Amino acid sequence: RNPVYLEEVTKLGIEDFQDQNLKEQLLKLEFRLLVYVPLSIAGRELGFFILGKHGPVGPSPEEVSLLSSIGRQVGVAMENARLYEQAEQAAITAERSRLARELHDAVTQTLFSANLIADVIPRIWRRNPEEGMQNLEELRQLTRGALAEMRTLLLEMRPESLERPDLKSLLTQLSEAFIGRVRIPIDLQIQGGCMLTREVKIVFYRVAQEALNNIAKHSGARQVELHLDCQPDHLKLCIQDDGLGFDTGSIPPNHLGIAIMRERANSIRAHLNIQSQLGQGTKIELDWEIARKD
């Protein structure tokens, strides 16, 4: 088949089309010639488009060359769209797999620990009520943490849900999920209240989330402080741990976790400061100046 080919219009030929609407339109327009232009990529046809002519003269060689070029370009665009959709579906599948792993690693294991504690509490209570009370408190923290972790995972599955809660609620949920997952206490302090845009709120939430994830994975900390201070002229987040710390000079500037936090801070013109020393823990501060209305 030629790259572009002609066919004289006959009612019988048009009846071969499967698309009823297309057949009706072609008959209604009363074309004498149809010009078929394949949509192709690397020699593979993805489809074709049709040009109709009322006169008996077909396209010139130059027009045929132009139509062939257009067909190839459209074919490339179609293939790119298909590949983009395929990549998007793969990304969705990968994200669902990640959430499933987190659900197993965090919530399932937390509930398993809670179940073990619940099983032994009656025996401990009979022997030592004070120790039983301690175990009840640990059980309460575990179940609250599992609930918070589940809510956090639901937020990841439906990012638009981040728009409804205020920053205080989001940070409280993050802290409870962190405590339930890694059993490291957090001193959470939130001062003041701010009306924040969605963009600013999500940046502060994501930076706090990334910082806590890094603490859980790498720090070996025994205590974490998470403080949010909202004043009329600025909003400041401070996350500090007493963990292993690291040499900030040895961390490459494109380190994924730090690069993501810096990128988020830059998106709202906030200042991110990271301080750490080996054996001295880490301190992360995010400071954003609130624009005043004159």
Confidence of residue 82 (pLDDT cuts 50, 70, 90): confident
Confidence of residue 33 (pLDDT cuts 50, 70, 90): confident
Task: List, in order of start, the domains of the chain with CATH numbers.
Answer: 5-87 (3.30.450.40), 182-294 (3.30.565.10)
Q: Quick: pLDDT tens for 148-187.
A: 777 777 666 666 677 788 999 999 989 988 887 788 999 9
3-state secondary structure of 15: coil
Round to whole Å and give the CA distance between 282 and 247: 10
3-state secondary structure of 91: helix
Residue 254 or residue 16, greater confidence: 16
Quickly tell me which residue has 């994830």 as its tokens: 213
Round to whole Å and give the CA distance between 98 and 203: 21
Length of the chain: 294
Please choose, from the candidates 271, 282, 120, the residue with its C-alpha nearest in 3D space to the C-alpha of residue 215.
Answer: 282
Helix (H) or strand (E) holding 204: helix 198-214
Whether the per-residue pLDDT at 272 is higher than 70: the answer is yes
Mean pLDDT taken over the chain = 83
Please choose, from the candidates 160, 164, 190, 161, the residue with its C-alpha nearest in 3D space to the C-alpha of residue 175.
Answer: 190
Residue 160 or residue 60, greater confidence: 60
Whether the per-residue pLDDT at 16 is higher than 90: the answer is no
What type of residue sits at position 81?
A
Helices (H), the chain: 11-14, 20-29, 61-102, 109-127, 129-157, 167-182, 198-214, 256-267
Counting beta carbons within 10 angstroms of the beta carbon of residue 59, is it exposed (0 to 12), middle (13 to 18) or buried (19 or more)? middle
Whether the per-residue pLDDT at 294 is higher than 50: the answer is no
Quickly tell me which residue has 């990640």 as its tokens: 98
Query: Per the structure block, which two tokens stand in for 95?
Result: 């994200």
Residue 171 near residue 203 (C-beta atoms within 8 A):
no
Confidence of residue 224 (pLDDT cuts 50, 70, 90): very high
